[in-house]
Amino acid sequence: MSKIELLNQAWEDFIGKWQVLAEQNGYPEIESDPQWPSECEFTENGKTCWKPVRQKKNTSFDNVGEAMGIEVDAQYAALFGMYYVDNINAQHKDGPLQFLQPWSQDDFDRLQQNLIGHLMMKAKLKQPPTLFFALTDEDDLNLVVVNDSGEVWLEYVGKEPHQKVTDNLAEFIQQCTPVLSPL
């Protein structure tokens, strides 16, 4: 299997486990914001909740790559191009985390803008390009994909990656267990 096929399978499996957990324990309740709608929202027993919804349109980080003069890691792009969901909490052997995900197409556009800002900061600091995809429970400590290698590392904001976690994103996702509780 290719890296992308492995990533797609790992993320599908993870989302499937999250769905089972949500069906057994109740989907996460949210406060609906008419200014920030999403296909993920639904009403159940008078409560507004959310669940993953397959993206109908192919999303791309091509404009990020063009703006920054790089080719964005394909497994990273695939992770953000499958579903619209709220950020998803998970547990990894190294601790709790929250996968960042697009809530809607508008949120995907905002994610791209934030990623360009992050990459511009990395370039200004003369650091290799990294792509953030998850938050940890420690302030300013993120999980990133090193764009040139596809490896997953821990990185403090504004610093270079300092601890390798896995060789690729699919392997990292396979090591995570979804949880419904907040980070």
Q: Over the stretch 28-74, which tens digit does the pLDDT of each residue have? A: 999 989 999 999 999 988 999 999 999 998 789 999 999 999 999 99
Most distant CA pair in the chain: distance in Å?
Answer: 52
Other CB atoms within 10 A of residue 114 CB: 12
Dihedrals φ, ψ of 168, to 5°? -160, 170
Pick the CATH number of 3-26+55-178 from 3.40.1580.20, 3.40.640.10, 3.30.110.60, 1.10.3720.10: 3.40.1580.20
Domain ranges of the chain: 3-26+55-178
CA of residue 42 relative to chain centroid, distance: 22
Against a cut of 0.85, is the pTM above it? yes
- Digit-coded pLDDT (tens) for 118-140: 999 999 999 999 999 999 999 99
